Structure 1
Amino acid sequence: MPGKKLFLSISAFVASQTISAQFLSDSTDRIADTIQIQDINFPSSKLPRPLQVMNDVGIATFSWVKTSVLHYARNKSGGLYETRATVTPGGDYLLMFPDGGHYGPGKDKKVNDMLSLRSKDKGKTWSKPVVAFDIDYNQHGFIPFIPKNSKRIYAFGTQPVFGMYKSTDGQHENAPIGYRYSDDDGYTWSEVRFIRPVNDPEFRGMSVMRMTETDRGTWLLGSHEGDWSYKPLITRQYLLRSEDKGLTWELLPGKRHGGWHVKGFGRMDEGRPINIGNDKVFLMTRSPEGHLWSSTSSDDGKTWAPFKPTPLVHPDAPPMLFKLSDNKTLIAFHHNRHHDLNYTGLSGSKKEIMMDRSELWFSLSEDDGATWSEPRLFLVNALAEAYTSHFRNYQCSYMDLFIDNGELHCFIPHRWQRVLYLRFSETDLNKFPTGRELLKK
């Protein structure tokens, strides 16, 4: 089992927290007096160089990172959630996210809309937000997917259609999984198509992490189910697999309730599959154990090796896994903190646990996830507490990115209240300091 103390911390399960978002009227978006990095408190005016506070966006990062806020939630109490973006077949940047509240906490009324923003000049300017899907139920996050040799954009994700999922008895997050598609570069979308796995047609779960397509053209989408009637919560991780471009699907490793989980915790969720070539697929998952976990398939995603913890220190928060432009090197963003040493279940009220989402680091793997480089610091939250819910105060998780022309474009639902947009050159990856490099300066 990798490290014991590791740069401690944890997180909250965005897809599962009942949000209590009372806003404190006298402290909106104020830079904190002190900023914690690796359990050390630094005055915000005297951070270890070259780290610096970006006052206009409320984080501390580095001078080679361009930063901006693209959007603020339409109301303070509702918030906004998982930000996801892609380069469209026509070359635009398309960003989408739910705004207005989370679908999950037992809501039987519409509270949010899926909004979209578009950039036609490589991220220099962005359109005003518009409603992407004019529908009568709430949305989870947008999972962008463009198959190889296609100009069709898919929007996969959880579909909490009223009457098709239960908002009671601990089942308030489990819903049908489905998709829409667009053949006009994301301007208009089809009606929803629901996924009904052949071995479990009534499957209900949650899907909000990026999916993948293998070299053979197989589609793999992570999904998990949660049961909040258990104390603590139980979750199980699955994969939805299609060999015929979404016409039929199979639920892996089998029908409910036999999904993957970490023994001793009863949890595993938010799996992110990624094609690594030669019939191999790497799958990284969330757990409350203190690390990201992973498994590898060598047969096009049909069967999977036993899950094991990676060396990447991470709280109960999602994997943020991508490929660099060489289509080989994996980059995993992780919080590098874990403080929930006596796990008893999720709670957004524990400050020390929620603070574990305040830092973002990244590690690289050049051997398909077998080994990982020493973590390098990307950013840390710099805003003072503004909410009575710590679940919001320190949130820098659920980051998404794509790479275009050698530049990483990153999107973060910062504090579940604002969309942060960060961009930097792939050639600058080695300029971000490791913990040892940062603290010796």
Structure 2
Amino acid sequence: MQRRATLAATTAVAALALLAAGTPTAHTADRQVAAAGTLTSQDIATAGTGSPYYRIPALTRTTKGTLIAAYDARPTLADLPGNLGVVLRRSTDGGATWQAQQVVRKDAAPRGYGDPSLLVDRETGRIFVFYAASVNQGFFGSATGNDENDPNVLQADYSYSDDDGLTWKHERITAEIKDPAWAGMFAASGEGIQLRHGTYKGRLVQQYAIRNNGANYAVSAYSDDHGATWKMGTPVGPGGDENKTVELSDGRIMLNNRSAPYRTVAYSTDGGVTYTPFQQDTELPDPANNGSVMRFAPDVPASHPRASWLMFSNTATTNSRSNLTVRLSCDNGQNWPVRRTVESGSAAYSTLTPLSDGTAANPRVGLLWERDNYRHITYSSFDLQWLGGVCAPVTLTPPASLPAGRTTEVTVRVVSQNDKDLPAGSVSLKLPSGWSAPSVTVPALRPGQGANMKIPVTVPATATAGTVSTTATYLVRGWQRSYGDGTLTVTAP
């Protein structure tokens, strides 16, 4: 395809002109020193400091080890169209401190740029930040067509940097990747991926949401020549929205999509060109909010014990933007047995990125997220010790019913996915007030071995007939936990 014309560049000096009223400071200490077993957090953007509002976090780690956090600077909380700009902060010490906020792209009204997604080419070091560009219309109002000069078409733009994020040049790829039959189209914010293994090694993949005939779809834009040209795959949907992809250890790509009441997933065997139909992942409740998925150790071969480890973040509820939770899967996302809450209160969009190659004993992970009703963009980091998990899915198999006033056994199965033996542990059930069930011993488990435990559950005679949610917790070594959720059905005695 014909090469795009490069648009005006933004330098670090010019970038400082916008938001000169102030740079957001840390919510906690000026320097965050991450001790083992801790979650550290600091606000890197605060509403009213430099811009009335900030939204839509994106995060990556460059080939030089620099962390880049990008997000929207907004005059209001509204999406495009509007006079939004894409800004960023850099950290050269692993997120301990952050340099002054700089602009990636900002123009006079009515032009606007928003919803950033970062993507690093690990082979060339080039950093991309994708975003939507508007004049008159946003996603729902955008016209069909792919005329790059039509003010009523929401445009597909990106900026790129070859100096570790200090300066940026801009390009428009609407005509390259947009089917003219589509209406709105925007890059799904957060972080894109580069495939590290197999037939499509080196391919850059950036997710988009598109609107076609009144329905929304998810689709991958991809490049096999380091971003010189881009192609668009086949949309999956309807029901698509902001979505992320991750390369699995078996060579497939998993697409994880914003959807309520549960996330939906699809799979590609051709490097993101086509996907299977969406299916619900009922282990991942979601209120239709942007989340994140990443491979924990993306460069290790399929034989490595952590090759199939994935991490996921979202607001783990079905009806509110709250309860920001991070999860670990040890089997390419088939099960999500490990979880821990980052923020039980108000939270919204989140995005994860590895802070190392993921092979050390206790590596850290970076998390950029929206906190406190969009008042802050917050950077957090945590390690495996803080996560406190164990690769051991827990499954509940309850009887058809538990009569009120009686004791009935509930079967809980624990399977070790570890590459080393697990010592004996215990499993317990979280139950409503007035119910009772003892903690039961789980025997030592060899790699791949499972065990079934029967837990006697006593239901009070006063219990109301109906269904009750429960969580089984497997505890081993006194601090490592995995979880499994289930439903118990209570009947009259």
TM-score by length of 2: 0.60
Q: Offset of 1:404 from its aligned partner?
A: 1.7
Name 1:403's counterpart in structure 2.
354
Q: Offset of 1:64 from its aligned partner?
A: 2.2
Name 1:359's counterpart in structure 2.
323
Greater C-alpha Rg: 2
Name 2:45's counterpart in structure 1.
71
Name 2:204's counterpart in structure 1.
219
Name 2:217's counterpart in structure 1.
236
2:248 is the counterpart of 1:276: yes
Alignment partner of 2:294: what SS?
strand
2:100 is the counterpart of 1:128: yes
Percentage of identical aligned residues: 19
2:260 is the counterpart of 1:260: no
Provide the C-alpha distance between the structure 1 equivalents of 2:252 and 2:275, rounded to a whole number of angstroms. 10
Provide the aligned C-alpha RMSD in A.
3.4
2:379 is the counterpart of 1:421: yes
Q: 1:189 to 1:105 in 2, by over 3 A?
A: closer
2:369 is the counterpart of 1:412: yes
Name 1:206's counterpart in structure 2.
186
Q: 1:133 to 1:327 in 2, by over 3 A?
A: farther
Contact 1:174 1:225 in 2 (8 A): no
Q: Offset of 1:402 from its aligned partner?
A: 1.9
1:291-302 residue pairs with structure 2 within 5 A? Answer: 291-302=262-273
Name 1:369's counterpart in structure 2.
333
1:7-18 residue pairs with structure 2 within 5 A? Answer: none
Structure 1: gaps of 5 or more residues: 1-54, 262-266, 340-355, 382-393
Higher relative contact order (CA 8 A, sep 6+): 1
Contact 1:103 1:139 in 2 (8 A): no
Name 1:96's counterpart in structure 2.
70
Q: Offset of 1:372 from its aligned partner?
A: 2.4
Contact 1:114 1:131 in 2 (8 A): yes
Q: 1:152 to 1:241 in 2, by over 3 A?
A: closer
Alignment partner of 1:398: what SS?
strand
2:114 is the counterpart of 1:140: yes
Q: 1:319 to 1:69 in 2, by over 3 A?
A: closer
Higher strand share: 2
Q: Deviations over 1:35-61 (max 9, x none)?
A: xxxxxxxxxxxxxxxxxxxx969xxxx
**Runs of 4 or more off by more than 6 Å in structure 1?**
432-435
Provide the C-alpha distance between the structure 2 equivalents of 1:337 and 1:328, rounded to a whole number of angstroms. 26
Provide the C-alpha distance between the structure 1 equivalents of 2:326 and 2:270, rounded to a whole number of angstroms. 28
Does 424-433 or 314-323 show the bigger shift? Answer: 424-433
Matching residue's letter, 1:193: R
1:141-156 residue pairs with structure 2 within 5 A? Answer: 141-156=115-130
Name 1:384's counterpart in structure 2.
none
Q: Offset of 1:281 from its aligned partner?
A: 0.8
Q: 1:182 to 1:369 in 2, by over 3 A?
A: same
Alignment partner of 2:168: what SS?
coil
Q: Offset of 1:400 from its aligned partner?
A: 1.6
Aligned length: 333
TM-score by length of 1: 0.66
Q: 1:56 to 1:119 in 2, by over 3 A?
A: closer
Name 1:35's counterpart in structure 2.
none
Alignment partner of 1:80: what SS?
strand
1:155-174 residue pairs with structure 2 within 5 A? Answer: 155-160=129-134, 162=135, 166-167=137-138, 170-171=141-142
Q: Offset of 1:286 from its aligned partner?
A: 1.2
Matching residue's letter, 1:146: V
Matching residue's letter, 1:116: L
Q: Offset of 1:293 from its aligned partner?
A: 0.6
Q: Offset of 1:201 from its aligned partner?
A: 5.4
Contact 1:239 1:251 in 2 (8 A): yes
Contact 1:197 1:240 in 2 (8 A): no
